[in-house]
């Protein structure tokens, strides 16, 4: 009898212990699942190319949507459906330290591309590891390394507190669909082949990042040197607005053209900024367009020269990859935006590519290019792009139709007034 009871108690104890272990394992698995971020990447690219949505970039976008950035650089309306959901998900955490630190960074001038470039150099979520060394430009724009490290730790805590991984899992199907849409017709190999031949040097990795909760449509560039001393460049594509729709992101040819510009910053900018003494001779070229440049957030001579050179390279590359029609359309767009030296730069770049023996890299040609830009005549560009004659005819016909409609309405009003005046001329008649 005692032996039977002992055996029964032993079995019961084993069962209880087994249940506890199972529950502990299930709890551990649940915790792991809660921080398991989905892999949001398009496949079938060469090893050095990628097209992804980075959870850490989305986390920074969520934080910015709860700061003054929303009014200054965010959507003019509510944004797209995904951005609305992201904003609502983080609304209960609007008082979190990460959002307060983001506001402080914005006040210091940590704007535009800086928050996204900061996210790029961090490790993946959930750990969000710090880089071995923060880039000097980011430290300067933030006003010190300490606040960047503080922001990183707070972002890590916010992601865990707000259960951000679960939000992305719920949106995973839609985000993969957006990646597939953008990938259609996108051939990064031909872009990088042209860039490497043009600049005379290359990167170890070319990455395209979709940012469906960043606005307005357009992009940012970023770069990082990894611990293995490899150099990687990034093109971050922002979304168009549309509150009732999923994110509208560039795809195919548009994605290639954005990559030419944003990856190009990592190649062109060092070559241009190596010659600051050349900038002063372009002051007269900047003054006629300083107001329109300021409207585009290019508020200094240096920013104008940097962007004008790169817009010329963009035009040169578009002509090579996408044809003469795309090139001419782009020239008109740049003229309207105040980058009126674009065509002259393209001509100089043709000279550069025909004389690579003398100029093996773009860095070698950059000072020559800046001198020749200064020789061009400063002018105030046409703000309105040239319009095809057929389109002018349509516009004139449309304007004439509006005039006729207004005239017809006025005639109708005048006739109605006459009828009312005639009725008032007759005395009231009593009906018995």
pLDDT tens digits, one per residue of 238-268? 998 766 688 999 999 999 999 999 999 999 9
Q: Give the pLDDT confidence of 277-290 residue by residue, as tens digits.
A: 999 999 999 999 99
What proportion of the chain, given as a percentage, has pLDDT over 90? 73
> Can you tell me the mean pLDDT for 76-96?
91
Which of 23-32, 300-309, 313-322 is predicted least confidently? 23-32
User: Please, which pLDDT band fits residue 14 given cuts at 50, 70 and 90?
Assistant: very low
- DSSP per-residue codes, 29-54: HHHHHHT-----EE-S--TTEEEE--
pLDDT at 301: 97
> Can you tell me the mean pLDDT for 161-168?
98
Pick from 134, 168, 145: nearest CA to 57? 168
pLDDT at 177: 96
Exposed e or buried b for every residue in 275-293, given b needs 16+ CB within 10 A? eeebbeebeebbeebbebb
> Is pLDDT at 105 greater than 90 in this prediction?
yes
pLDDT at 398: 72
Q: Where are the alpha helices (DSSP H) in 50-163?
A: 55-64, 69-72, 81-90, 97-107, 114-121, 136-142, 145-161
> Is pLDDT at 16 greater than 60 in this prediction?
no
Q: Give the pLDDT confidence of 113-131 residue by residue, as tens digits.
A: 999 999 999 999 999 999 9
> Is pLDDT at 18 greater than 80 in this prediction?
no
pLDDT at 3: 46
> Is pLDDT at 194 greater than 80 in this prediction?
yes
Query: Token digits for 57?
Result: 């970039």
Which of 15-24, 82-91, 285-294 is predicted least confidently? 15-24
d(CA 314, CA 303): 16
pLDDT at 368: 98
Pick from 247, 264, 257, 155: nearest CA to 210? 247
Q: Give the pLDDT confidence of 387-413 residue by residue, as tens digits.
A: 444 445 556 667 777 887 887 778 767
> Is pLDDT at 6 greater than 70 in this prediction?
no
Q: Reading across the β-sheet that carries 231-238, which strands appear in turn?
A: 41-42, 49-52, 205-211, 231-238, 218-225
> Can you tell me the mean pLDDT for 157-171?
98
Query: Token digits for 353?
Result: 């590519």
Tokens 């307060």 correspond to: 100
d(CA 80, CA 86): 10
Give 390's contacts (C-beta < 8 A, 6+ positions apart): none
Pick from 237, 289, 231: nearest CA to 261? 237
> Is pLDDT at 25 greater than 50 in this prediction?
no
pLDDT at 71: 86
- Quote the pTM value: 0.81
Q: What is the mean pLDDT of the chain?
A: 87
């Amino acid at each position: 009898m005692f032996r039977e009871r002992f055996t029964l108690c032993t079995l019961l104890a084993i069962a209880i212990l087994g249940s506890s272990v199972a529950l502990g394992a299930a709890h551990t698995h649940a915790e792991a699942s809660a921080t398991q971020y989905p892999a949001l990447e398009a496949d079938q690219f060469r090893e050095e190319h990628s097209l992804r949505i980075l959870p850490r970039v989305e986390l920074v976008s969520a934080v910015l949507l709860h700061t003054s950035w929303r009014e200054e650089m965010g959507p003019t309306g509510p944004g797209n459906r995904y951005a609305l959901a992201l904003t609502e998900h983080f609304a209960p955490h609007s008082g979190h330290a990460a959002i307060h630190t983001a506001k402080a960074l914005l006040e210091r001038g940590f704007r535009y591309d800086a928050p996204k470039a900061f996210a790029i150099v961090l490790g993946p979520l959930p750990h969000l590891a710090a880089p071995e060394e923060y880039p000097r430009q980011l430290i300067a724009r933030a006003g010190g390394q300490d606040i960047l490290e503080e922001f990183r730790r707070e972002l890590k805590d916010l992601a865990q507190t707000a259960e951000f991984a679960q939000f992305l899992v719920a949106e995973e199907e839609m985000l993969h669909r957006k990646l597939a849409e953008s990938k259609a017709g996108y051939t990064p190999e031909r872009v990088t082949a042209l860039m490497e031949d043009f600049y005379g040097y290359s990167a170890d990795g070319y990455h395209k990042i979709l940012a469906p909760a960043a606005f307005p449509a357009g992009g940012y560039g970023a770069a990082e040197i990894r611990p293995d001393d490899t150099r990687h460049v990034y093109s971050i594509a922002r979304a168009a607005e549309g509150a009732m729709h999923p994110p509208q992101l560039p795809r195919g040819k548009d994605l290639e053209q954005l990559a030419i510009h944003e990856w190009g910053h990592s190649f062109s900018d060092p070559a241009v900024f190596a010659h600051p003494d050349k900038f002063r001779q372009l002051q007269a070229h900047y003054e006629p367009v300083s107001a329109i440049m300021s409207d585009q957030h290019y508020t200094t001579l240096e920013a104008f020269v940097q962007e004008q050179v790169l817009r010329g390279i963009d035009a040169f590359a578009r002509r090579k990859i996408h044809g003469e029609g795309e090139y001419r359309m782009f020239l008109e767009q740049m003229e309207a935006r105040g980058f009126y030296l674009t065509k002259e730069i393209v001509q100089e770049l043709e000279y550069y590519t025909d004389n690579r023996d003398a100029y093996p890299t773009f860095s070698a040609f950059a000072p020559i290019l800046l001198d020749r830009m200064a020789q061009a005549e400063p002018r105030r560009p046409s703000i309105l792009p040239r319009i095809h004659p057929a389109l002018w005819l349509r516009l004139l016909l449309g304007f004439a139709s509006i005039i006729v409609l207004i005239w017809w309405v006025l005639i109708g009003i005048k006739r109605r007034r006459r009828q009312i005046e005639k009725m008032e001329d007759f005395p009231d008649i009593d009906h018995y």
